[in-house]
């Protein structure tokens, strides 16, 4: 008698009788469940750092320059149309660049150097060959800029444009810095400025809105008019073509400095401070008066009736490096290459923002959520 279920239906069963929407557990909840399910991996031979940091780390055999083991790091990050970007205002070349840069940023966040990449492209049928080539051009530019080589990939059709990049990097094991490792008293520092990528996104969205409503031609600065992109060139560039801070990783190596903890700012300062807090079992005090904010970020915030501090704390996508350092180490670094934004404290103090009046308020982890 015909049977519509496979004979081995039991082993193949989906457990899909219940339906809990993914939104109930969120992206981080799903990743936690994946890690739980794949927990045995943590004990895999040669694995130094598994799921949960910016990249995984494993020994590859051979010794590094200082006698410690040579390790590779691997990380993967995908950009999905309609979730991470909107093709109406993101040029494909910028998209290709960004897909590589965000992965290089994860490698930098382990204090390692990128070497090889694989690129998986899901191409919708409304993308032309010329469009795909613009994407490739951006990928190639970023690879050239950061010194890595695309060595493999997969290209397939897809309803929406998807770019998934995996990057393999290398380091001496002794150089690797994880999110854990910060100690109370350490300075909390950041490379570059914060909030500019979020400001740039607001500028791009406003430009799109104005185009949609036909307001792009209006030059009087009235509500609904497109912002002058030339005025906001810096923040727009920060959003479209973020830079991975490999330059800082190299400067630290030259200065003989190894941060005690390190994470890249993809989800906003508040979230990343929580990541360091959780991984290192420490607290963090961020000084609201010390946030490094670019003048265009401040101007954009003013324009959109927002607070620049909110862009910096919650905006995300800046891809700067947040790191901790014992105070005694600070003099070894060029002060132009970083800003001190706070301090690591005892875990019971939590993650807090110090206001100009000296009061402390709890800082809630937040940032761009794709669910």
Q: Is 264 annotated as a binding residue?
A: yes
**Closest separation in Å from C-beta 365 to a second copy:** 17
**Closest separation in Å from C-beta 265 to a second copy:** 17
Q: Is 267 annotated as a binding residue?
A: yes
User: CA-to-CA distance for 193 and 145, rounded, in angstroms?
Assistant: 21
Q: What's the burial of 218, exposed, middle or buried (CB within 10 Å: 0-12/13-18/19+)? A: middle
Whose Cβ is closer to a second copy: residue 66's or residue 334's?
66
Q: Is 256 annotated as a binding residue?
A: no
Q: In the numeric block, which tokens belong to residue 216? A: 């792009």
Whose Cβ is closer to a second copy: residue 139's or residue 353's?
139
Q: Is 357 annotated as a binding residue?
A: no
Q: Is 72 annotated as a binding residue?
A: no
Query: Considering only CA atoms, which of 139, 136, 175, 142 is closest in space to residue 57?
Result: 175
User: CA-to-CA distance for 55 and 102, rounded, in angstroms?
Assistant: 12
**Closest separation in Å from C-beta 310 to a second copy:** 24
Q: 69: helix, coil or strand?
A: strand
Whose Cβ is closer to a second copy: residue 118's or residue 337's?
118
User: CA-to-CA distance for 344 and 351, rounded, in angstroms?
Assistant: 9
Whose Cβ is closer to a second copy: residue 166's or residue 337's?
166
Q: Which residues does residue 286 pair with via DSSP β-bridges, in sequence order? A: 342, 353
CA distances from 112 to 35, 51, 243 (A): 23, 17, 16
Q: Is 70 annotated as a binding residue?
A: no
Whose Cβ is closer to a second copy: residue 33's or residue 332's?
33
**Closest separation in Å from C-beta 239 to a second copy:** 10
User: Does residue 117 contact residue 140 with C-beta atoms inside 8 Å?
Assistant: no
**Closest separation in Å from C-beta 305 to a second copy:** 18
List residues forming the annotated binding site for Mg(2+). Answer: 54, 75-77, 106, 154, 264, 267
List residues forming the annotated binding site. Answer: 54, 75-77, 84, 106, 136, 153-154, 179, 264, 266-267, 317, 368
List residues forming the annotated binding site for ATP. Answer: 136, 153-154, 179, 266
């Amino acid at each position: 008698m015909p049977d519509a279920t496979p004979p081995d239906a039991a082993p193949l069963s989906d457990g899909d009788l219940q339906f809990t929407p993914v939104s109930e557990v969120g992206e981080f909840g799903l990743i936690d469940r994946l890690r739980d399910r794949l927990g045995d991996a943590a004990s895999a031979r040669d694995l130094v750092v598994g799921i949960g940091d910016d990249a995984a780390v494993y020994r590859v055999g051979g010794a590094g320059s200082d006698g410690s083991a040579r390790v590779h790091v691997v990380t993967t990050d995908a950009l999905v149309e309609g979730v991470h970007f909107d093709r109406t205002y993101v040029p494909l070349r910028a998209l290709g660049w960004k897909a590589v840069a965000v992965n290089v940023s994860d490698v930098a966040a382990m204090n390692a150097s990128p070497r090889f990449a694989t690129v998986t492209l899901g191409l919708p049928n409304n993308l032309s060959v010329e469009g795909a080539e613009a994407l490739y051009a951006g990928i190639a530019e970023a690879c050239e800029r950061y010194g890595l080589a695309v060595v493999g990939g997969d290209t397939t059709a897809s309803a929406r444009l998807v770019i998934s990049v995996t990057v393999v990097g290398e380091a001496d094991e002794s150089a690797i810095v994880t999110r854990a490792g910060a100690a109370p008293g350490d300075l909390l520092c950041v490379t570059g400025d914060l909030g500019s990528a979020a400001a740039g996104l607001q500028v791009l969205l406003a430009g799109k809105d104005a185009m949609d409503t036909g307001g792009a031609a209006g030059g009087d600065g009235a509500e609904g008019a497109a912002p002058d992109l030339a005025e906001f060139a810096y923040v727009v560039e920060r959003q479209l073509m973020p830079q991975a801070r490999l330059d800082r990783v190299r400067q630290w190596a030259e200065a003989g400095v190894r941060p005690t903890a390190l994470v890249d700012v993809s989800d906003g300062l508040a979230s990343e401070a929580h990541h360091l807090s959780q991984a290192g079992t420490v607290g963090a005090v961020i000084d609201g008066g010390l946030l490094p904010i670019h003048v265009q970020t401040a101007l954009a915030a003013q324009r959109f009736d927002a607070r620049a501090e909110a862009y910096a704390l919650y905006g995300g996508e800046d891809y700067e490096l947040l790191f901790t350092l014992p105070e005694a180490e600070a003099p070894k670094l060029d002060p132009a290459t970083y800003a001190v934004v706070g301090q690591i404290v005892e875990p019971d103090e939590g993650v807090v923002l110090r206001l100009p009046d000296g009061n402390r308020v709890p800082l809630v982890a937040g940032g761009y959520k794709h669910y």
